[in-house]
């Protein structure tokens, strides 16, 4: 049976790579994307290669959009909560509204969409949330780190809450991944990042997509409530003992 896979923020970067990966194995992919043009572009790319896909414009902070997505999707075999925002601000420049906006997109939307879709998910369904390696510690985006740390706790709670429905919930923690978002950041220093990468390279969106596809696969049927770090060993630390 063809699975229905819903991916929020599926129009670019990790979301796009994940959509292509699921489609390549025969799943029907629903790309939920605020940028309608980007979403349609990915759907067309999938169809051009013989896959099955649809795009729907969704702002994950708007309840009516989430309602429409749930109605349009019907059965949901896999949900990838990938949509998120990122902001760079020194600690003393961050204001409360930065936290509110970041949590609304990165955390609250995950709960709200899952709450709508879980009743439409069959036994054996899977949810994969996206956290971040930054939860290990980083400077200049405390509000973002707090939101991605919250995703870890929410994932564990959801895994327990949905276990009786036989729905598995896991999270992926990407490290430095070569996406448009990373390239556009004013603080991005690729040479500096490479110095802290034990495997000697930055990640590709496809690296994260592969981990998401695995966690949603039958091969991961006994895995739930876990955080999988996909960061090239970055979270292990560095070469120095201090």
pLDDT band with cut points at 50, 70 and 90 for residue 183:
low
- Ranking 123-132, 176-185, 207-216 by mean pLDDT, the lowest is 176-185
- Beta strands per DSSP E along 86-161: 126-130
Phi, psi of 69 (to 5 degrees): -65, -45
Check whether 89 has a pLDDT greater than 80: yes
Q: Provide the pLDDT confidence category of residue 190 given band limits of 50, 70 and 90.
A: low
Q: Which CATH architecture has domain 4-231?
A: 3-Layer(aba) Sandwich (3.40)
pLDDT of residue 21: 98
pLDDT at position 242 is 42
SS3 183: helix
101: three-class secondary structure by DSSP: helix
Is residue 196's pLDDT more than 90? Answer: no
Q: Residue 81 in contact with residue 113, Cβ under 8 Å?
A: yes
Q: Is 141 a catalytic residue?
A: no
Mean predicted lDDT score pLDDT of the chain: 93
Contacts by 138-145, CB closer than 8 A, 24 or more apart: 139/90, 139/91, 140/88, 140/89, 140/90, 140/91, 140/187, 141/86, 141/87, 141/88, 141/89, 142/91, 142/94, 143/87, 143/89, 143/94, 143/98, 143/99, 143/102, 144/86, 144/87, 144/102, 144/106
Kindly state the average pLDDT of the residues 159-165: 98
**Cα 42 to chain centroid, rounded:** 16
Query: For residue 45, is pLDDT > 90?
Result: yes
pLDDT over 60 (residue 60): yes
Determine which of 20-29, 57-66, 74-83, 170-179 has the lowest per-residue pLDDT on average: 170-179
Pick 70 or 196 by higher pLDDT.
70
Phi, psi torsion values for 214, nearest 5 degrees: -60, -50
The predicted pLDDT at position 52 comes to: 98
- Signed CA dihedral, 219, 120, 146, 85: sign only: positive
Q: Which of 103, 141, 144, 240 is catalytic?
A: 144
Instruction: Report the pLDDT averaged over residues 192-212.
Output: 87
């Amino acid at each position: 049976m063809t699975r229905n896979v819903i991916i929020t923020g599926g129009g670019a970067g990790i979301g796009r790579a994940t959509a292509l990966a699921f489609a390549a194995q025969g799943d029907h992919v629903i790309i939920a994307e605020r940028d309608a043009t980007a979403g349609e572009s990915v759907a067309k790319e999938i169809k051009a290669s013989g896959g099955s896909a649809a795009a729907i414009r969704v702002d994950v902070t708007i309840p009516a959009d989430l309602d429409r997505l749930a109605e349009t999707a019907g059965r949901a075999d896999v949900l990838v909560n990938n949509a998120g925002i990122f902001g760079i601000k020194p600690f003393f420049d961050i204001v409360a509204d930065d936290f509110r906006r970041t949590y609304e997109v990165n955390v609250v939307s995950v709960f709200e969409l899952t709450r709508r879709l879980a009743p439409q998910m069959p036994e054996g369904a899977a949810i994969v949330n996206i956290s971040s390696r930054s939860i290990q510690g980083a400077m200049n985006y405390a509000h973002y780190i707090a939101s991605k740390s919250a995703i870890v706790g929410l994932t564990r709670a959801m895994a327990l809450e949905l276990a009786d429905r036989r729905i598995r919930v896991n999270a992926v923690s990407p490290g430095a991944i070569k996406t448009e978002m990373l390239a556009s950041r004013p603080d991005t220093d690729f040479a500096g990042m490479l110095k802290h990468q034990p495997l000697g390279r930055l990640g590709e969106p496809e690296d994260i997509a592969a981990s998401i596809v695995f966690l949603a696969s039958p091969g991961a049927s006994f895995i739930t409530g876990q955080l999988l770090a996909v960061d090239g060993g970055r979270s292990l630390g560095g070469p120095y003992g201090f």
